[in-house]
Structure 1
Amino acid sequence: MKFGKEFTSQMVHEWEEAYMDYNYLKGVVKDISKFNKKNAPLPEVAATPKGSLKRRISMYRAFSGLQSRLSFKGSPKIENEDEEVILVSALEQEGSLGHHQTKFLMSSEKGGEYEVVFFRRLDDEFNKVLTFYQKKVGEVKAEANELSKQMDALIALRIMVDKPSIEMHSETIDDSALSPASLKSPGGSHMEAIEEVEMTGEEIEEDGSSRGKQDTPKRVRFRPAPLEILDNVRINIEPATPVSTLKNVMKNSKANSSFSKDQLRKAEEQMKKAFVEFYRKLRLLKSYRFLNVLAFSKIMKKYDKTTTRKASKSYCERIDKSDLGSSDELTRLTERVEATFIKHFVNGNRREGMKYLRPKAKRETHRVTFFLGLFSGCSIALVAAIAISIRAGHLLEHEGRGQYMENIFPLYSLFGYIVLHMLMYGANVYYWRRFRVNYPFIFGFKHGTELGYRQVFLLASGLSVLALAAALFHLDMDMDPKTRSYQPFKELIPLLLVIILLLMLFCPLNIIYRSSRFFFLRTAWHCLCAPLYKVTLPDFLLADQLTSQVPAIRSLQFYVCYYVWGNFKTRSNTCQDSSVYQVLHIIIAIIPFWSRFIQCLRRLYEEKDSMQGLNALKYFSTIVALVMRTLYDQKRGVFWKVMAASTSGITTVANTYWDLVIDWGLLQRNSKNPWLRDKLIVPHKIVYFIAIVLDVILRLVWMQLVLDFQELPHLHKKAFVAIVACLEILRRGLWNFFRLENEHLNNVGKYRASKSVPLPFNYDEDKSL
């Protein structure tokens, strides 16, 4: 792979604009090369007899050795070997220390203006990279100081919780009282005391003079961690459960006067996450520094090779002397973070600590590709078999067709909705990776646990094989007269399939991508318990996905109706006619929209962002439209039709505008790309216009349920509802890609490449002064 492509592939996605523009400088060097070739004199070439050996001259070339070059007496010296080509100087400007400027000393030569342009742009790129690097180093230094203060508070809290007998001031205590064995927590979960207390290592006598270790008395004065800092610290731990959230609200978030082991455990977890994320920032910054230094070295070597000059040595020396090349602050800080994390969070186990700090990337295996192909082929074969069975058995004209569509079809359509949504997500992952959208960072996946598109397609194809095989088996038993006597077992097949799916989803064993399954369950629980959890991006994105899965949620309601209140043995049910079912039919459908409505209200309260209030109003209008549409479907009548059509029209316009303008950031009239936005990831603009048209059309499709256009020949109403639901899932998959693209570009615009981890302690500066 050429360096330019490798350089681009290893960039931090969100910092791309801060990297050296290697391709542009490479283009300038090519311009210099073209000019030199165009104006170079033609060499006189001696005629070579036809048929002579081309490699003959290599027999007379001198061999200079594999490693060292030998100099012989009488060998000619290369003239102008150390000829000065450029003069690099550092200028001090207001607000910009270390600004570098290069003067090309041979601009009077023919074609020198090309090289002047090259060095001018090279200086601009170097100063840009250096300024960004110095800014980021300053940020990590400030964050390191904050983490140090947090560690002081954590160590003091450990002593206060594990050893409450230790007083706040220095006192004369026995040497064994601070031994590692005596200061371990009862459960052995915390570190040894010498690591928690952070003693100075120097033992002090009563008179204040220091004494060596050999003649240390048994009773000496130690200086334990400054526990007084807990007087100026308030524990700031986000409630982890709905119950703790309610308790926190009732207490009005007052400062804690006592400390518990539960608070200590949560504070340790937050500090652990903060250190892991801070270490990741340091690694990203080190990678940024290394790649840019290497890029400058490569472009200077390419310049020397093109112009036959020797300017790279002078310029690279200047880079090495700058903060970008000579600063070892990051290295020292990285080593200190490693030592602190290993010492204070994993009991000195370096191997365990490095597993947290440097998790290994997940390896792609051929096994996934093999089973993906196998399940995909089986799914296609099963679809063909079902089509043949329906055609051969004349099931479309069968007298029991209506009964089957009313009772069995909704049971199996649930799996179709889930598989289609997974396929759309897998396609999104493929295109996010292709266009370098950092979706693992946006979703907040733990490093190395995110699923690639192959894994998502594997899960979708595996589930489709189960569902299609069950449906085919069900049809076969329906058509075979010998098996019609096994109706109870036959009707239980969809229920067994749901049970298998739930067991796989909640399985505690480390199989079938456990971390991703638990991430989904945890996020779904946050959505269900909104607003008792702090709203994060995965929470409201999943709630948005669920708003497109209302038919699937209603299918789960129908499972309860069919197998609990319905007579599934005779394939009939009357529970759908009950008023309780109809009310639940509305309530269950509005749960995802209500969750998003409550999430927006909590974000409005916390962030004071008026856009969250408008978003909440949008979801409330959707809830009203959904209720009116369901009531019209149940009661019919002109009044309910007018109410359903008007509310649905209003919410359709509002949702479409929000999709295109707010979520996607498009339709900006004065942008660089008219009616799109300034920055685009997909290179073809027509894709965005097609997406806009499709989103509008698919938003209007569900209006057909209100306007009674669903009466199509040879198409059952349940089938039409399923088709509309599938189109909504397709629209949601389209929405997902451009929503995350816009989020990624926002992160790029703010150079946000790492997560912001809340710290467990707040210092009261007024008291500490």
Structure 2
Amino acid sequence: MKFGKEFASQMVQEWQQAYMDYEFLKELLKEVLRFRQRTSPVVTATTPRGTLSRKVSLYRAFSGLTNRYRSATLKIDEDQVILVNPVHHPGSESEEQYQTMFMMSTDDGGEYELVFFKRLDDEFNKVVNFYRKKVKQVLEEANELTRQMNVLIALRIRVENPVFKFGEADVVNLASNGVSLSDGAQPLYDQKPERLHMDAIQEVEMSEGPMEEEGRISNESKESNERKEYKCVKGFRPASLDILDNVKINVAPETPISTLRGILMSSTSDFSFSKEELKKSEELMKQAFMEFYQKLRLLKSYCFMNQLAFSKIMKKYDKISTRSAAKAYLEMVDKSYLGSSDEVSKLMERVEPTFIKHFANGNRAKGMNTLRPKTKRERHRTTFLLGFLSGCSIALVVTIIVLVQIRNLRKNEYSGQYMENIFPLYSLFGFIVLHMLMFSANIYLWRRYRVNYPFIFGLKQGTDLGYRQVFLLSAGLSVLSLGAVISNLDMKIDPKTQSFDLWTELVPMGLVLVLLLILIFPFNILYRSTRFFLVVSAFHCLFAPLYKVTLPDFFLADQLTSQVQAFRSLEYYVCYYFWGDFRKRDHRCLENDVYKAFNLVVAIIPYWFRLLQCIRRLLEEKDGMQGLNGLKYFSTIIAVSMRSIYEQKKGPLFRFLAIASSVIATIAGTYWDLVIDWGLLRRDSRNPWLRDKLILQQKSVYFVAMVVNVVLRLAWMQTVLQFKVDSLHPKVLVAIVASLEIIRRGIWNFFRIENEHLNNVGKYRAFKSVPLPFNYDDEDDEKEA
């Protein structure tokens, strides 16, 4: 792989604008090369055809393993090509800049090289300033984590009240802040918050791991370790508990009960020093350290990749220009903040033992696996099963078509009964499979265009599903449902009982129960972390006002709004199997007033979830746009209600109300999709009527997507205008309309997450914000100021 592609693949996508523009600098060097080719005679060497079995570059003279810079074919050192000096503008608050003076600008083609070095300086200054800014941020975060760790350790002492014995008579009761050491313990430290630094994280206690780690320590080594530990703790300084007087806990409610308690009762957040608070605080601190360490890793990679890029581009310059400028420029790179700063490496060296000691109980393997989760590898088994199940699905579809034709089931006297009773049961699985296929296509496109969807959804690293896994799940469900259709395709009724076979008729209900059991299956198979993530998000949607709304929650609620017909199918399951005579394939659901009422309620439930989420965000974030978004969903609720009432009662008045409300909801929804969710239709953008930044190079795709979105949003017209197709059963037509909405949602998904990704890129936001468990009092902050 060429370095340019490797460089692009290693970029932090949210920081891509802050990286050195390697491709543009290569284009400038190509301009230099083209000028030299135009003005210099080309000397070519003829080689008999077929005599070379290797690349020509493999016959070049070897430069040695220890030589960093090329010396052959370059000019002597007296011919200095460039002079690089730091420049600081008087009275300017900007950081120190670097400027290259090109000494050969009067040579033929020198103006091209002058442009190259000017752009090279701009890129280098951009990289250095960005790196310096990010390092400053992580140092501030390190200081804050230090303060938080001191509070956490004090809270551990207060809650757990530990008592340790060193030697035979020395007892330390940490909870009482009392120390009894035979040789005279040093007094307890009482460090003020402003004097804390990340150095405090690198504690003396890190010198020894747990004595019983992995069962490798014998009795003799245990005694030796005890002597070492006693030696280490002779100057043992337990954390001061006074720090607890200056902080308050910051544990956000995570259950509906805790949220209601916080609303109805006093909102004091003082410590009660409970084990629950300690556990939650440790979880938040663990997440904060993991996110902080990931930031350090990516920042270190940013520094290394940019240094390598400058080295590569200067070697290319030397090769093209036959000058010796790389050595001088790269010496400047090494001496700059980018090359000489080691704060990030030191922080990583301190964070690792701290995390292992405090959050992995001294188990280094466990701690490092948590800090550095392995990237999930694609398995051949997944690809094989995907192909196998996809082939089985196609074969089952063909089998169903053949059986329908051979048995002439379309003209069977019970075919209408089958379509009215059985088809709605199996259409549920069709909706789910189609949605999964669309989401699989979304993941494929997001990965292809390097959209950081795991970060956007807040997925734990290494647990996100790829498009193959989602496609595999959809293929598996497709095989199960199609196999069930074949087993339930019999239309021969028993003449004695006038009913169908019991077990055959229970196949759809059994398949639904199997899916529900798989979804909540607690064992670590079938992508447990993803299933748990989905269940938690669904639970948050169910209790929308009682949870802080995150992107996965409202994204899932948006998906549910496109599955209204699937919700109605679930309602039909209950009516058909509990109030209908399923053995005779007969029901009276549509004549039941309770069923009709629930048919309306079920249709508006997903939109109700989104409305409540918008209200919660409006009250919590004070964002007026959330109020407008809530009005959009409220208009959709009215439109769905009017259409449902019109389906039941008919009449010109209800038809007018259904059309009017649907038109208003369609206009509002379309505008919100295109302008707010997708960020398009910006007249003054660099890409007229789109937006400034686009991931897809084909701009026509965006215009086609907007037109398709508008057209598919008009699918509700079938409900009001009652279109009829002679060759299609009304139930099939309803399923097709519902499928079109699912397809529209799949298209919406890609552009919605694309826009979210570009917003993160614009703000260089590559890490999620983890709330810290402790807040300092305002009075303490004023003293620090």
Global fold match (TM > 0.5): yes
- Which letter maps to 2:726? P
Q: Distance in 1 between matches of 2:36 and 2:73?
A: 25
The 3-state SS of whatever aligns with 1:702 is helix
Within a 5 Å distance, the mapping from 1:336-485 to structure 2 comes to 336-476=350-490, 478=492
Q: Distance in 1 between matches of 2:458 and 2:498?
A: 51
Match of 1:676 in 2: 690
Q: Specify which of 242, 246, 259 is matched with residue 273 of structure 2.
A: 259
Q: Distance in 1 between matches of 2:49 and 2:394?
A: 63
1:736 pairs with 2:749: yes
Kindly state the Cα deviation for residue 167 of structure 1 after the two structures are TM-superposed.
8.0
Within a 5 Å distance, the mapping from 1:190-201 to structure 2 comes to none
Q: Distance in 2 between matches of 1:588 and 1:312?
A: 69
Match of 2:117 in 1: 119
The 3-state SS of whatever aligns with 1:703 is helix
Kindly state the Cα deviation for residue 582 of structure 1 after the two structures are TM-superposed.
1.4
Match of 1:31 in 2: 31
Q: Specify which of 569, 574, 580 is matched with residue 566 of structure 1.
A: 580
Match of 1:22 in 2: 22
Tell which deviates more after alignment, 756-765 or 289-298. Answer: 756-765
Kindly state the Cα deviation for residue 640 of structure 1 after the two structures are TM-superposed.
1.3
1:40 pairs with 2:40: yes
Q: Specify which of 62, 71, 81 is matched with residue 85 of structure 1.
A: 81
Match of 1:187 in 2: none
1:285 pairs with 2:285: no
The 3-state SS of whatever aligns with 1:385 is helix
Q: Structure 1 residues 36, 490: closer, same or farther in 2, change over 3 A?
A: same
Q: Structure 1 residues 406, 726: closer, same or farther in 2, change over 3 A?
A: same
Q: Distance in 2 between matches of 1:286 and 1:682?
A: 30
- Deviations along 1:514-554, one digit per CA (max 9) or x if unpaired, are 11111111111111111111110000000000000011011
- Which letter maps to 2:777? D
Q: Structure 1 residues 730, 196: closer, same or farther in 2, change over 3 A?
A: same
Q: Distance in 1 between matches of 2:27 and 2:718?
A: 55
The 3-state SS of whatever aligns with 1:518 is helix
- Deviations along 1:569-608, one digit per CA (max 9) or x if unpaired, are 1111123322211111111221111111011111111111
Q: Given that residues 195 and 344 in structure 1 are in contact (C-alpha distance below 8 angstroms), is that contact kept between their aligned partners in structure 2? A: no
Q: Specify which of 97, 100, 104 is matched with residue 98 of structure 2.
A: 100
Q: Structure 1 residues 545, 220: closer, same or farther in 2, change over 3 A?
A: closer
- Which letter maps to 1:513? Y
Q: Distance in 1 between matches of 2:145 and 2:467?
A: 37
- Which letter maps to 1:34? R
Q: Specify which of 576, 583, 586 is matched with residue 600 of structure 2.
A: 586
- Deviations along 1:192-244, one digit per CA (max 9) or x if unpaired, are xx99998999xxxxxxxxxxx99x99x99964212111111111111121111
Q: Given that residues 170 and 221 in structure 1 are in contact (C-alpha distance below 8 angstroms), is that contact kept between their aligned partners in structure 2? A: no
1:747 pairs with 2:760: yes
- Which letter maps to 2:769? S
Match of 1:726 in 2: 739
Kindly state the Cα deviation for residue 394 of structure 1 after the two structures are TM-superposed.
2.2
Q: Distance in 2 between matches of 1:555 and 1:158?
A: 52
Q: Given that residues 254 and 547 in structure 2 are in contact (C-alpha distance below 8 angstroms), is that contact kept between their aligned partners in structure 1? A: yes
Kindly state the Cα deviation for residue 43 of structure 1 after the two structures are TM-superposed.
5.8
- Which letter maps to 1:100? Y
Match of 1:183 in 2: none
Q: Specify which of 738, 743, 758 is matched with residue 771 of structure 2.
A: 758
- Deviations along 1:608-651, one digit per CA (max 9) or x if unpaired, are 10000000111111111111111111111122111111111111
**Alignment root-mean-square deviation, CA:** 3.1
Q: Given that residues 241 and 533 in structure 1 are in contact (C-alpha distance below 8 angstroms), is that contact kept between their aligned partners in structure 2? A: yes
Q: Structure 1 residues 687, 372: closer, same or farther in 2, change over 3 A?
A: same
Q: Given that residues 170 and 222 in structure 1 are in contact (C-alpha distance below 8 angstroms), is that contact kept between their aligned partners in structure 2? A: no
Task: Note the residue ranges of structure 2 that are not aligned, 5 or more in a row.
Answer: 164-172, 186-199, 208-226
Kindly state the Cα deviation for residue 490 of structure 1 after the two structures are TM-superposed.
1.3
The 3-state SS of whatever aligns with 1:373 is helix
1:626 pairs with 2:643: no
Q: Distance in 2 between matches of 1:160 and 1:127?
A: 50
The 3-state SS of whatever aligns with 1:526 is helix
Q: Specify which of 521, 533, 551 is matched with residue 519 of structure 1.
A: 533
Q: Structure 1 residues 483, 681: closer, same or farther in 2, change over 3 A?
A: farther
Tell which deviates more after alignment, 507-516 or 328-337. Answer: 507-516
Q: Distance in 2 between matches of 1:77 and 1:540?
A: 63
Match of 2:246 in 1: 232
The 3-state SS of whatever aligns with 1:531 is helix
Match of 2:661 in 1: 647
> TM-score normalised to the size of structure 2?
0.88
- Deviations along 1:232-276, one digit per CA (max 9) or x if unpaired, are 111111112111111122224212252100010001001100100
- Which letter maps to 2:25? L
Q: Structure 1 residues 480, 151: closer, same or farther in 2, change over 3 A?
A: same
Match of 1:182 in 2: none
- Which letter maps to 1:26? K
Q: Structure 1 residues 199, 364: closer, same or farther in 2, change over 3 A?
A: closer
- Which letter maps to 1:4? G
Q: Distance in 1 between matches of 2:49 and 2:750?
A: 63
- Which letter maps to 1:16? Q
Q: Structure 1 residues 482, 107: closer, same or farther in 2, change over 3 A?
A: farther
Q: Given that residues 415 and 491 in structure 2 are in contact (C-alpha distance below 8 angstroms), is that contact kept between their aligned partners in structure 1? A: no
Q: Given that residues 159 and 197 in structure 1 are in contact (C-alpha distance below 8 angstroms), is that contact kept between their aligned partners in structure 2? A: no
Match of 1:155 in 2: 153
Match of 1:325 in 2: 339
Match of 1:128 in 2: 126
- Deviations along 1:80-105, one digit per CA (max 9) or x if unpaired, are 14531100000123222321000001
- Which letter maps to 2:513? I
Q: Distance in 1 between matches of 2:260 and 2:687?
A: 48
- Deviations along 1:650-691, one digit per CA (max 9) or x if unpaired, are 111100110001000111111111111111111001100100
Q: Distance in 1 between matches of 2:503 and 2:160?
A: 59
Task: Note the residue ranges of structure 1 that are not aligned, 5 or more in a row.
Answer: 70-75, 179-193, 202-212
- Which letter maps to 1:251? M
Q: Given that residues 443 and 537 in structure 1 are in contact (C-alpha distance below 8 angstroms), is that contact kept between their aligned partners in structure 2? A: yes
Q: Given that residues 168 and 226 in structure 1 are in contact (C-alpha distance below 8 angstroms), is that contact kept between their aligned partners in structure 2? A: no
Q: Structure 1 residues 200, 574: closer, same or farther in 2, change over 3 A?
A: closer
Q: Given that residues 174 and 238 in structure 2 are in contact (C-alpha distance below 8 angstroms), is that contact kept between their aligned partners in structure 1? A: no
Q: Distance in 2 between matches of 1:52 and 1:2?
A: 26
Q: Distance in 2 between matches of 1:233 and 1:44?
A: 77
Match of 1:191 in 2: none
1:534 pairs with 2:548: yes
Q: Given that residues 199 and 223 in structure 1 are in contact (C-alpha distance below 8 angstroms), is that contact kept between their aligned partners in structure 2? A: no
Tell which deviates more after alignment, 476-485 or 32-41. Answer: 476-485
Q: Distance in 1 between matches of 2:778 and 2:351?
A: 26
Q: Distance in 1 between matches of 2:127 and 2:249?
A: 39
- Which letter maps to 1:744? H
Kindly state the Cα deviation for residue 298 of structure 1 after the two structures are TM-superposed.
0.0
Q: Structure 1 residues 414, 64: closer, same or farther in 2, change over 3 A?
A: closer
Kindly state the Cα deviation for residue 77 of structure 1 after the two structures are TM-superposed.
11
Q: Distance in 2 between matches of 1:316 and 1:420?
A: 55
Q: Distance in 1 between matches of 2:626 and 2:52?
A: 76
Q: Given that residues 82 and 310 in structure 1 are in contact (C-alpha distance below 8 angstroms), is that contact kept between their aligned partners in structure 2? A: no
- Deviations along 1:168-208, one digit per CA (max 9) or x if unpaired, are 885454679x9xxxxxxxxxxxxxxx99998999xxxxxxx
Q: Distance in 2 between matches of 1:649 and 1:493?
A: 41
Kindly state the Cα deviation for residue 362 of structure 1 after the two structures are TM-superposed.
0.5
Kindly state the Cα deviation for residue 750 of structure 1 after the two structures are TM-superposed.
0.3
Q: Structure 1 residues 577, 78: closer, same or farther in 2, change over 3 A?
A: closer
1:716 pairs with 2:729: yes
Q: Given that residues 75 and 323 in structure 2 are in contact (C-alpha distance below 8 angstroms), is that contact kept between their aligned partners in structure 1? A: no
> TM-score normalised to the size of structure 1?
0.89
Q: Distance in 2 between matches of 1:113 and 1:196?
A: 53
- The total of aligned residue pairs comes to 728
- Which letter maps to 2:732? A
Q: Distance in 2 between matches of 1:326 and 1:753?
A: 24
The 3-state SS of whatever aligns with 1:88 is strand
